[in-house]
Amino acid sequence: MLPHHRTIRHRMLLVIASTAVCATLACSKNKRPKIYPAQVNGHVTLDGTPLESGTVTLIPETSEEEGGRPGIARIEKDGSYWIGNANRSKPAGVPVGHYRVTILSMQPDPSGSGRPVASLVIPERYADHESTPFLVEVAAGDNKVDLKLTSTEEASPATSEESGPLGN
């Protein structure tokens, strides 16, 4: 196990990396958002309880040059998330393809300011694109993908309403 200060530093690096992904997605070269054919939505739970905040990120296994595009969504208080087609307040969808799914949820500041502190609410494996157990295939149209996180080492696979377990 890493010393306490190194663990916090590692978690802060995860937060910085997630922020960089968000900034990259927000700073589009085109003024008009491109519409993609796939929408992804579902619920995120930890040991059966809805996660109340955080982000879900879809990282494509296809490079950007080959048409891959990451997707990111905010986790709502009821554990739901939605990545859909662009329309005023909604984020753009994602191209069809295979994705690694990461989840980031930080503990709120106990002072009540609402700012996150350097402490993950979920096991670290879900926040890292190399160790996440969630691999999904996104098809054109609506894709319902529920992400069932566990505190133990064994993670439940992402599930789809139509096809059952997806990916790993």
E strand map for 36-111:
38-46, 49-50, 55-60, 71-74, 80-83, 97-104, 106-108
Q: Tell me which CATH code domain 4-165 carries.
A: 2.60.40.1120
Q: What percent of the chain is helix, strand and coil (3-state, nearest 5)?
A: 15, 35, 45
For residue 28, pLDDT over 50 is answered with no
Q: Most distant CA pair in the chain: distance in Å?
A: 47
* Model confidence, pTM: 0.68
CA separation, residue 98 to residues 61, 119, 155 (Å): 6, 29, 19
Mean pLDDT of the chain: 77
For residue 24, pLDDT over 60 is answered with no
pLDDT (mean) for 78-88? 75
Tell me the per-residue pLDDT of 32-50, one tens digit each, with 9 for 90 and over. Answer: 445 578 999 999 999 999 9
pLDDT of residue 31: 47
Domain boundaries, the chain: 4-165
More confident: 13 or 53: 53
Q: Phi-psi bin for 167: left (phi > 0), alpha (psi -120 to 50), beta? A: left
Q: What is the percentage of the chain residues whose pLDDT exceeds 90?
A: 45
